[in-house]
Every structure is written in structure tokens, then in C-alpha cells.
Structure 1
């Protein structure tokens, strides 16, 4: 278990535990320690958000286990703040029996899972393991998107024009007419785009560009 003041970067996934109940917080931390899962503890949502703002959590593997009812700032409010910050870490809510409607709403807003108190140890472990698997997938996707954005920045203005038309589903002849080039020139630009973007196929190229475009709109 690490305290919330720790800022050491770690290549291992970190589970961020946020709960105002010290006993519950310690219990969850000890449980994760017992199965070799690194974790940091935070006694409230404000302290966690402060840590999030001062560290690049999105570039590290991990997840967040967040109590839904806390003083000062609730788990739901914290989720909204994290969404504003474009948080990529999967979120697990810990709820009481009467909080199920809130938990369902939280899942509609992007939470991965919720578990009810009191919960069995194995339920928490399995939820965290699932969240860490999701984190790995998200992290891999983020790296690919960043690489795509770097490659897009290397394209010339004309190549970007041709690429935009390709993504719109236009064939070479139509592209040539629209940007006043010969069809052969468009074919050359298209081949250069495929090469610079390291695209294995037209479908691969379009998917990369759409994923990168979507990421800027989240």
C-alpha cells in the first residue's frame, strides 16, 4: 500500500482507492497487497483529484475504486470531474444497498462496475482484475492513437486533403476532380499516405484516422 502523497512512477498497474471510511480503505488496501496488486489510498475525492491533476495517471496502467457516498464531494461528483479531465482509468464504484440507482446511473456515465457493501473479498479482486485488463486495452489504444496523430502531423497539406477525401469514401477519380489534380497524381499521394501512416489496408487507414478523430472529441 502506498499513501496518497507518493508520487513515484511505477511500471506496474496501480489501483487508486478512494473512501472516507478509514477501516474500509485499510481493508481494501491490505486485500490488494495480499494478492500483489499495487495501490494508493485517498481519504476523500478532493485529495484524489489533486493527485490526479499532479500526476500523469492516464499514461500509467491502473483503475479507480471509488466510494459512491462521501462528504464534501461524492463519488458521482468525482466521476463528473474525472470525465472533464478525460480520465482513461476504469472506474469501480463501491455502494451501499440504497445506492443502486445511483450506481446504475454511474455505469451509464461510463463506470465499469459497482460492488455492494459488504462485499466478499473475491468480488473486489475479480472486479479490480477486470478493470486492470480494461486499462491495458485502453492504454494500448491510447498509444496507437498518439502514434497516429504523430503520423498525421507528418503529412503534407495535399496529402491531408487526399486522406480526408479517402475517409469520406471518395474514389480517386472524384478526389482528382475536387482538388484539381490528375488521377495519377492522386494515386501517388494516396500511396504516400498509406506508407507514412503505416496502414496495412484501406480499412486499417480509415479506422486509425477515425479513432484519432474521436479521441479529440471526448
Structure 2
């Protein structure tokens, strides 16, 4: 009886141990499976998050590239426009005519736009002076040769007839010039006709000119005035 009870007790203990081991194994398997599921879920979430982030980055990249492309297109368009404008100005300026002035030099006249002309006075290949009309006629005292360039691109030159201001002087065409000194290399001339003051020339650091109904007048920054019809 005692031996049987001992064997039965050992079997019971062994069974209990096996049950405990089985339970521990089952728990471990459940924990591993749960951990795997959590890891898989985490990987799915990370993958989904990465996919979403990549998608956003791609959208941003596409937007950035599209914007960059648009800006590049704008820059290219602007550059092409600038080049076209430059080419047009060059083309306009290249249409020049030449006229011989009273002292034998040559005036090369360029049309730059509406009432916008430039004249280069050239002698033996050297440019001696440049006149340009900008909303008004232009004039020059070139060492005793007087030159005017008008808004319609006409050039006129003569020599002599100069008078030194300040003072009041009779000019050709019945005009009178009242010349005053405003400062260093700065003179003004009021051109007076039968009806009063018709125009004012202001030679401030550079010479000026005027077409007064067919009478060409130049006032220099040094106060010299001359007129020719």
C-alpha cells in the first residue's frame, strides 16, 4: 500500500508538472503570438505612415518642381522678352543715315523711337560728340560750329553768329534772346517774340538747342548763343 501510494503520488506530481509546463508553454506561445501581432501591426502602421509621408513628400516635390518649372519658364520668357526688346532697339538703332556737316565732319543719325533720335558727330573715324533728343530738341557748340538735332530727326549746322551772354541779343527771324547766368556752366535764355516769351533754353552743364519755327538756336553751357535760319 505504501509503495503504491508513493508511485501514485509521483505520478500525480509528474502530471502536475507536465500540466504546469504545458500551461507555461501555452502562455509563452500566446505571448509570442501577441508580440508578433503587435510587431506586425506596428510595422503596418510604420509602413502606412512612411507611405503617407513619402506620398506627401512626392506631392511637395511635384509641387516644388512644378513651381520651379513655372519660375524657370517665367525667367526664360522674361529673358526672351528682354532679348527681343534689346534686339528691337539694336535693329532700330542700326537704321542710320549720314549727313555731312558744315565743317566737313559726318553726323550719323539713329532713330531710337518716336521723337527719339541720336546723332554721333564723327571725324576721321573718331566720335567727337553725341546729341540726343529726349522730349526736346538738342543742340551743341562744337568749337564754333553750332549743331541742332530736332525731334523729327533733322540736323542743322552752321558757323558764326555767336554772342556771349549774359545780355540781350537780337537773333535771326525777329527773335530776341535774354541770356542770364544761373551758375557755373549754367545759363538760361528766354526766347522772346512779338507775343512775348515763346521758349526758355536752360543750358545746365551741357549745351541745348531749339527749332523756333525754322530758326535754329543753340545756347552753350558757357553762355554763348547763336541762331541760324
- TM-score, normalized by length of structure 2? 0.25
Structure with higher RCO (Cα < 8 A, 6+ apart): 1
Flag the structure with higher helix content.
1
Q: Which has the larger radius of gyration?
A: 2
